[in-house]
Amino acid sequence: MKTGNAKGIVGFIGLGTMGCEMARNLLRAGYEVRAYDVRSEAVDSLVGLGAKPAASVEEAGRGADIVISMLPDTPQVEEIICGPDGLLAHPPAGRLIVDMSTISPGAVRRFHAALQEVGVSFLDAPVSGGPIGAKNATLSIMVGGDAEAFARAKPYFEAMGTTVTHVGEPGAGQAVKLCNQLVCGINIQAICEAIALGRACGVDLNQLRDVLLGGSAASWMLDKLGPAMIAGDAGAGFRIDLMLKDLRLVQEQAQMLSIPLPGTALVTSQYIEARAHGEGTNGNQALFRVYDRMTNQPRS
């Protein structure tokens, strides 16, 4: 727990593309960070920035005011909470756990109930803004869970993001994030279609983007990902594999609630096609390659 000049002790679990930047911002804000990841090189690089290494989930949480996780999917979060070395058996001293990954809202409600039984608060706090938002501490953070736990976690969120919103009960943060992902996926598809048509019409694609950004078709995706889509840069970015995981979570929720989402179903098929072509680790802007194939306009 908090000692000396330290602002607070954070156990941080999951130091990948997003987590390493978020943990770094907590360090910058003056928090002590105990870093854990199954990849020891990820821990080492954060230790180089001033974090303390943890050799296990239990060690990351020991004596911490709060534990924050940023992991790929529901099974990894389940493991660090319910596994033998998990936080259910070894709660942090501050009895507050925040998962910032994108996972199933139903699983969130299960984790919340199990942790509540042992007197530990749990928040779901997924994020939007990508690696750039993580690096610049400008993430949008959508939080589900108890108001009292949210108030305690808020200063930590403010070290990682600029828009921090308590959106409701446990699982509500994930519900909002799934709506966010649906909009992102379909928006990228719309941009791919505009590029495919604009290219066939022979218009200058950079000019096309500039014009659209000045009018009612403007979007974050067109602004941030448009240049890579026009240049044929499929590489870095939010991985297609992660997008497919999120679209699966969207569709699971929709099926459970009997909500038809035909736009999501269509764009999911296109991302599956991209993955079938070995593009799962490309950024999600690489959906343009599906349109390149459909229009027989392959780019190297």
Instruction: Give me the sign of the Cα torsion angle 228, 232, 233, 239.
Output: positive
What number of other Cβ atoms are within 10 A of residue 267's Cβ? 24
Task: Supply the minimum distance, in Å, between the C-beta of residue 198 and ligand NAD.
Answer: 27
CB of 233 to ligand NAD, least distance (A): 16
- Which residue ranges make up the site for ligand NAD (CB under 6 A)? 13-19, 36-39, 42, 70-72, 76, 79-80, 101-102, 127, 130-131, 238, 242, 246
Q: Which residue bears the tokens 């096609």?
A: 273
- Which CB atom, from 212 or from 238, has the smaller least distance to ligand NAD? 238
Of 101 and 212, which CB lies nearer to ligand NAD in the complex structure?
101
Judged by CB, which is closer to ligand NAD: 70, or 194?
70
Nearer to ligand NAD, 37 or 279 (CB): 37
What DSSP assignment string belongs to 80-111? Answer: HHHSTTSTTTS--TT-EEEE-S---HHHHHHH
CB of 41 to ligand NAD, least distance (A): 9
List Cα–Cα distances, 98 to 34, 73, 160, 208, 280, in angstroms.
Answer: 15, 14, 13, 42, 28
- Residue 68's beta-bridge partner residues? 12, 98
Give the distance from CA 10 to its chain's centroid: 19
16 vs 168, beta carbon nearer ligand NAD:
16
Q: How far is the CB of 104 from ligand NAD (least distance, A)?
A: 11
> Pick the catalytic residue: 2, 7, 154, 177?
177
Minimum distance between the CB of residue 298 and ligand NAD, rounded to whole angstroms? 26
Closest residue to ligand NAD in the complex (CB): 16
In one letter, which amino acid is 28? Answer: R
Q: Which residues touch 137 (CB under 8 Å, ≥6 apart)?
A: 25, 28, 159, 160, 161, 162
Grouping H, G, I as helix, E, B as strand and the rest as coil, residue 11 is strand
Query: Which residue number, 205 or 272, has a Cβ lying nearer to ligand NAD?
Result: 272
Q: Say which residue the tokens 């392959």 belong to.
A: 298
Q: What angle do CA 272, 111, 170 make, to 5 degrees?
A: 85
2 is catalytic: no
Using CB atoms within 10 A of its CB, is residue 254 exposed (0-12), middle (13-18) or buried (19+)? middle
The nearest distance, CB 8 to ligand NAD, in angstroms, is 21
Residues noted as catalytic: 177
